[in-house]
Amino acid sequence: MKLSVRIFSIMAIAGLVSCSDDELRTYDSLQQKNAVESVNDPYLLASIIKKTALFYQKMGFDNRMLPGAVQHMESNYQSGDNFYSGFKSPVNDMYTAMDILKLIDGGIGLAETRDSKTHQGIFKIFRVLLFSYMTDFYGDVYYSEALKAREGILYPKYDKQTDIYTGLLKELDEANALMAAGTETISGSYDLMFAGDKAKWQKFSNSLKLRLLMRASAKLPDAAAMISALANEPVLSEATENASISYIGTVGGDNGNSWTGGPLNWGTIDNFDTRRPAKTLVDKLTELNDPRMQIWFAPVEKPWTSDPAKNGVSFTTTDPNGYTYTSTWEYINRKNKDIAAYATKDILIDSNKVYVGFIAGMLSDWKNGNGHYDIAAGGTVGNFKVSKFSKLFREDKHPLLKAMVMNSDEVQFILAEAAAKGLISGGADAYYRKGVTNSLLRWGVSADAVAKYLAQPAIALPADKAGQLAKIADQKWISLFMVSAEAYLDLRRTRLPNIFNNGRLSGFPFPERYRYPGNELGQNKSAYDEGVSSLTPAVDDQFSKMWLLK
């Protein structure tokens, strides 16, 4: 569904701020009250969907920390995200999530007053989604006492992660029961995600529960039984069944109407060009002859060649979306003293390749990562020896550009993993192939190309369990491109694919969590101290392990 103009007034009514001191915490309660009394639950639904989807989208492209951590994207200029440096500092995403949760709890209260059971259930899905985000990234966080400022609780305690998971799974059961009992219709105009289709909301709820159960499957003693029970329930299963929203491509800025990388938001191309595909991802897609590569990435403008006959020869390519690119081969004359000196830095690699990625762990400087030896020929972000993102991602809107929260291919890969582990009956292959198919179709790959891709021996699942899990993880990691929050959490959980020592990352340990926001230490210290005490070791840094990881 497209975003409607009506939502913008809602956003103004319901604009919220992060808590940082007594005055702001008290003001939070007034804002929540005003938001609820100024609009009704269908209006709040539209705002909540939009805010949540954009929150997830920003982590997949705008902010380079998570895309860099999972080696989908590398920074080409002025950033330490290529080697996890963003994890060293406190992260305020907890407050961003809480801002949306204020609207959600307000919406639940309003829906209860109106006896809108279906809307109560939908709001609970988003409540679970955002609280799970908080606990998955930080560890212990406030949950049972959260959003109770109107009841006098200005400094909520942190709940144990195990208790939060128990509560979230219960809330999803409640959400399903409410939606099943609800008789009111959902406005197609304000339901930006599923156009008023309650059955899809129920599928989303079951799919989210499946995600959480798999994430905590090593910690919850009854996870296997609950996953098995869910295998018979409706979940997001078709390529068109995705928890995402489209852009309308009008007006830039913070309103979320336009894709971030488009000209309305980034008038200059420089910001766009600082983002480059990671060599890890490009190499994997090349190995698999994956058609998504031509959709996601542009050919190198001046590919290196070891064939002097190709020097200066230009060629043109057109991708499946109709975007055309021109490239000109450049001969690597390693006898040239300047080139020879540069080659000793182990940077001149990937010759004779049209698609080339930026090396993981490299300094985010355009002189590195397969950069041109002639510095003056580059420009600030002019690394023409590495692929850029496709022109698709330079649009203000496009049918393939979505703010994504959860896609059906992710769900199918979870079921494939569950089958490979024996948690559900049947083989993993059907789920695995459905996941691959849905991801390819979602990115506009033709049915014929999908069939050809699946027929490759390199795509087939091996017979052994370890081999199956590795292959499933590979394809799931690819499919989570632009859904970086989930890609990170899955990589952290499974340690698959094993990409942790790629490029120049061998000296950089993988981060396990976000550090708590700095304001928690200053304004909610007793809760903060209790939360830190649950970590192992009990230190608020990016390497301490939470309950899920112990």
Query: For residue 64, how far is the Cα from the chain centroid?
Result: 11
Nearest to 541, CA basis, from 515, 521, 519, 512: 515
pLDDT above 80 for 227 = yes
What average pLDDT does range 362-389 have in this prediction? 72
Average pLDDT, the chain: 90
Kindly report the pTM of this predicted structure: 0.92
47 confidence band (pLDDT: 50, 70, 90):
very high
- Can you give the pLDDT at residue 321? 97
What average pLDDT does range 23-48 have in this prediction? 59
Whether residue 52 contacts residue 126, with contact meaning beta carbons closer than 8 Å, is answered with: yes
Query: For residue 6, how far is the Cα from the chain centroid?
Result: 27
- Can you give the pLDDT at residue 39? 57
Among the residue ranges 17-21, 310-314, 485-489, the one predicted with the least confidence is 17-21
- Token pair of 385, please? 């020896």
Residues of the chain with pLDDT > 90, as a percent, come to: 79
379 confidence band (pLDDT: 50, 70, 90):
low
Comparing 27 with 310, the larger pLDDT belongs to 310
Rg value, the chain, Cα: 24
Q: DSSP of 221-268, one letter per residue?
A: TTHHHHHHHHTTS----STT--EEEE------STT--S-TTSTTT--S
- Can you give the pLDDT at residue 344? 61
- Can you give the pLDDT at residue 385? 86
pLDDT above 50 for 5 = no
pLDDT above 90 for 332 = no
- 3-state helix, strand and coil shares in percent for the chain, rounded to the nearest 5: 50, 5, 45
pLDDT above 50 for 125 = yes
Residues of the chain with pLDDT > 70, as a percent, come to: 88
Residue labelled with tokens 């070891």: 306
- Token pair of 100, please? 């949306």
pLDDT above 50 for 8 = no
What average pLDDT does range 45-62 have in this prediction? 96
Comparing 332 with 20, the larger pLDDT belongs to 332
Q: At what angle do helices 22-38 and 93-113 cross, to 10 degrees?
A: 40
pLDDT above 70 for 545 = yes
- Can you give the pLDDT at residue 550? 97
- Can you give the pLDDT at residue 7? 38
Residue 528 and residue 521: Cα distance in Å, rounded?
Answer: 6
pLDDT digits (tens, 9 = 90+) for 238-282: 999 999 999 999 987 778 899 999 999 999 998 999 999 999 999
- Can you give the pLDDT at residue 78? 80
Among the residue ranges 16-30, 363-377, 425-439, the one predicted with the least confidence is 16-30
Comparing 383 with 533, the larger pLDDT belongs to 533
10 confidence band (pLDDT: 50, 70, 90):
very low
pLDDT above 70 for 370 = no
**Where do the domains of the chain lie?**
272-392
- Can you give the pLDDT at residue 437? 98
- Can you give the pLDDT at residue 368? 60
What average pLDDT does range 117-131 have in this prediction? 98
Nearest to 213, CA basis, from 128, 339, 313: 128
- Can you give the pLDDT at residue 18? 37
What average pLDDT does range 40-67 have in this prediction? 93
Residue 249 and residue 443: Cα distance in Å, rounded?
Answer: 19
pLDDT digits (tens, 9 = 90+) for 404-426: 999 999 999 999 999 999 999 99
- Token pair of 48, please? 């909540």
Residue 318: strand, helix, or coil? strand
pLDDT above 50 for 20 = no
Q: How far is CA 49 from CA 40, 200, 250, 404, 520, in A?
A: 15, 14, 19, 11, 27
Among the residue ranges 12-26, 105-119, 363-377, 446-460, the one predicted with the least confidence is 12-26
